[in-house]
Structure formats: C-alpha cells, structure tokens
Amino acid sequence: SSGYQQQSRQIDQYPGPLVDDESLIEVLGVTKITSEEVKHKLVTAAETEVKINSAREEFRPVATRGSILYFLIVEMSYVNAMYQTSIRQFLALFDDSMEKSDKSPITSKRISNIIDYLTYEVWKYQVRGLYEEHKFLYTLLLTLKICLQSNRIKPNEFMTFIKGGAALDLKAVAPKPKNNWISDMTWLNLVELSKIPQFSEILSQVSRNEKAWRQWYDSDAPEEGNIPDGYQNSLDIFKRTLLVRSWCPDRTLAQARKFVVDALGQRFADGVILDFHSMWGESDTDTPLICFLSMGSDPTAQIDTLAKKLKVDCKPVSMGQGQEIH
C-alpha cells in the first residue's frame, strides 16, 4: 500500500504529460505485473483452501470415531472414579494410530485403516486399566455407540436395550396372559419391545403360541435355540440381542458377545493379555507404569523378567508399613 501511495504522489506531482516520464511508466508496468501475480496467487490460495477443506472433510470419519472413543473413556469415570484418562493420553494414542496404521494411496482405504487401528488400540489400552467386572461393559458400550453413530441401530432400540420396560406400569399396559410363567418384569420388557416395528405383534404372538415360547424360554441357552413365530430367520444380530434381553436378562451377556463379534470382530471379545514389554514402550521418564495390586496378583516376577530382558538395573523397594528396603 505504501508503494501504491508513492506512485499516486508521483503521478499527482508530475508537471507534464505522464508519457514523458519513462521511469514512471516502468514503475506502472511493474505494478501491473505485480497486480496480476497477486491476483493469480489469490486464486491459487482459494483453490488450495478448497482442496484442504475437501481433504479435511474426507478424514472427518476418523475424527468422529476418535470423539466416540474419547468421550466413552470419560464416561467410564461414572462407573468408577479411578478410571481417569487425560486428553493428553488419548491424543498420544490418536497420533500414534495416524503414524502406525497401514498406509494406502486410496483415501477411503487409508481412512478405514486408521479407524480400525485407532479403535483397537484405544480399546486395548482402556480395557487393560479396568477391573475385570467392567471390561465387557466398556466393550459393549463401545460397540453400541459405534453402531448408533453408523445408524446400524436406532436410538429407540438402544434405549430399549438399556432400560427395557423398567419405566412402565403393569396396570397401564396390555394385560399379560393368565399364567404364572411370565414374570411381570418380562411382560413389561415385551411391551416396551413391541414399540419397535419388527416386534409389533409379539404380545399377541406370545398369547397365541404360548407353548412354543415357553419351551424356548425354558431351554438352557435360549440365545442358541430357534425362536418361535418366524423370528429365527428374520432378526439381525442386534434385534436378536434385544429379544433375548427382554425375555432372559441372565442370558444377555452371552448373546451380547455375539453382537460384539459381529459388529467389531472376534478380537474385541477376547481377553487382553497384559504385555509388560509393550507397556514399557509406552512409558518414558515422565510417564511411569503403575500397577494396582489385588489379592492373588503380584507383577514382581514379570517386572524382574522384563528388566533382565532389557538389561535394566531394577531395584525393588518395599514401602508398606513396617517393611524394610530389600
């Protein structure tokens, strides 16, 4: 702008015809060229911005999956206050997944690789730090949230799975058949289930075909048996899980494991073996490894073995009351 102002002053102050001042004409020529270059760069910058925004949108599914993973980790602190994971920890896992996942020149394949690697690594990292009783809870919630985001299951189906008929009043719903084998809670679960279109006729079907339903219900593993009234071949894995949850809450976990395997893969249903060597690779001078001891578990031998393998000097110190230094 200062160059432009200087040129304007030169033009205003020149006493004669402008064509007589060759230097001024040269400056104006350079200004025109510069103006064209700036205009071209602005156009290029706008095109580059469009390309960057387009590429960023292509990778949005990675950010979406990261969001699902992180906020579920945060929500696990409601289950137990000890389950605390900082955003810094999570971002380290996220960046690591971007770096270590399989590369591909095909953008969609690259995105799929990142999502698969990120999901498994974060799941494995989180499950490792949970009490045994909460590990499958986390895995199931992760599966449900991923399926919700992908529209594989609907919000009302999710709520039916979580709450069943707990919010219903037995006196305000259709009366159950006059028998003693269907509990009040089971009937309320079925009433809530009947609000899902695929199960809209289940109350009348149970009343009409009571013998077959009771035979299925009384079996040792209903989730493995043939469901009456054509449901055996018409239900996908999650709706089958909904039905089992409504009838047989005690068999829900067994069926839910099948749902996890179907949605995420067998490795998410298998246990995570504690690998001290890989944990060592995650640590540094500012990130120590901390093991919470419980009855019957003592990682001392594994730590000693790892120290010998890495040729690291390991000096145990007992800090309990009345303990002496080894």
Q: Are 283 and 163 in contact (CB under 8 A)?
A: no
Q: What is the pLDDT of residue 245?
A: 96
Q: What is the pLDDT of residue 325?
A: 53
Burial level of 143, CB count in 10 A (0-12/13-18/19+)?
A: buried
Question: What are the phi and psi torsion angles at 98 (to 5°)?
Answer: -60, -35
Check residue 162 and report its DSSP letter: H
Check residue 253 and report its DSSP letter: H
Contacts of 76 (CB under 8 A, 6+ apart): 83, 126, 130, 134, 138
Task: Going residue by residue through the chain, which has 326 residues, state the pLDDT in tens, using 9 for 90 and above.
Answer: 555 555 555 555 555 565 555 666 676 677 777 778 888 888 888 878 778 777 778 889 999 999 999 999 999 999 999 898 889 889 999 999 999 999 999 989 999 999 999 999 999 999 988 988 999 999 999 999 999 999 999 999 999 999 999 999 988 998 888 877 899 999 999 999 999 999 999 999 999 999 999 999 999 999 999 999 999 899 999 999 999 999 999 999 999 999 999 999 999 998 887 788 888 888 888 888 887 777 777 788 888 888 888 888 888 777 665 555 54
Distance of CA 195 to the CA centre of its chain: 28
